[in-house]
Amino acid sequence: MPDPWTGAAAQRYKRTVVRALKSVPGSSQGPTDAALVTAARAGESWAQEALFRRYSRMVNGLAFRIMGRDGDVDDLVQDSFLEALRNLDRLDNPQAFASWIGSIVVRTAGKRLRKRSLLNRLGLRRATPIDADTILSRDAPPDVQADLSRIYASLEEMHHEARTALILHRVEGMSLPEAAQTMGISLSTIKRRIQSAERVLTEAAREEGA
């Protein structure tokens, strides 16, 4: 059976796809996710790069919002894409690449946050609060700024799972079922985690008011 990815026309096609996605990262123009995943599974590096170009902004954004620090983002993005590209065969529905990579980012970030909190407890690291001013857009309306500042100021005090749940629900705007699916947990568990995170926020607000 002839290889569908050889030949001059195929080479031109690959170049065109990658070039288009490089110039407009995140664009949904061009081949479907399913087509890219199928080609990437076959070892086509252009398709792997095209998947990265299409979802790099989304993944960078999610990583940034969960970690709350720009310095943590690059490694997390790289690790997440590496895991995704290594395990493409496990993706049941190739068209669902976006939500799948989102879950990978959440899981990878969770591992890092967990390790970090253990290092804190061992005294090998000192927790530093997130400086909301450095991560929030100046275009945000005052009420949004206040809300986000409140969330990010208390983030380091939360358990990492509660923190991730809160970010997915309150910052990413995911519904509870969506957030539960992304984290790979049940609806009742995500509710408990968000409640736990909100207790930390309430406590912080009370202390501030005192």
Partner 1 sequence: MSEPTKYAAFVAPELSKARLDAQWARISERRSPERKGRHPAIPAVGLLVAACAFGVVWWPRESRSTGESVWEGSVVASDDAPVEMTLAEGTRIQVDPRSEVKLLHSSARAVQVRLAHGSARFDVAKRRSRRFSVDLGRVEVVVTGTQFRVLRKDGPAGDRIQVTVEEGSVEVRRPDSGVVALHAGENWSTVIPREQIEPSADEVSALEETRAEAGQETPEAEEDDDELYEADVRSHAEARTSTARVKGVEGAEVTADDQLDHIDEDSAERSSRRRAISRERRRRRVREAAVGAGELFDQANLARRAGSLELAAELYDDLVAQYPRDRRASLAAFELGRLRMDSLRDPRGAVQALERALKLDGHGEFAEDALARLVLAAEARGERESCLRAQQRYLTRYPDGVHSQHVTERCGGQ
**Residue 23 CB partners (closer than 8 Å, separation 6+):** none
29 and 60 in contact (C-beta within 8 Å)? Answer: no
Q: Does 55 interact with partner 1 (rule: CB under 8 A)?
A: no
Phi, psi of 155, deg, nearest 5? -60, -40
CA angle 56, 59, 60 (to 5 degrees): 80
DSSP H helices, 68-96, are: 73-86
Output the smallest distance, CB 70 to partner 1, in A. 6
Q: Position 1: which residue type?
A: M
According to CB under 8 A, which residues from 63 to 122 bind partner 1?
A: 63-65, 70-71, 73-75, 77-78, 81-82, 85, 111, 115, 118-119, 121-122
56 touches partner 1 (CB under 8 A) = yes
- Indicate whether 124 belongs to the interface with partner 1 (CB under 8 A): yes
C-alpha 51/C-alpha 90 separation (Å) is 16
Please pick, from the candidates 2, 173, 206, 209, the single residue that binds partner 1 as defined by CB under 8 A. 173
Binding site for partner 1 (CB under 8 A): 22, 25, 45, 48-49, 52-53, 56-57, 60-61, 63-65, 70-71, 73-75, 77-78, 81-82, 85, 111, 115, 118-119, 121-122, 124-126, 128, 135-137, 139-140, 144-145, 147-148, 152, 169-176, 191, 194-195, 198
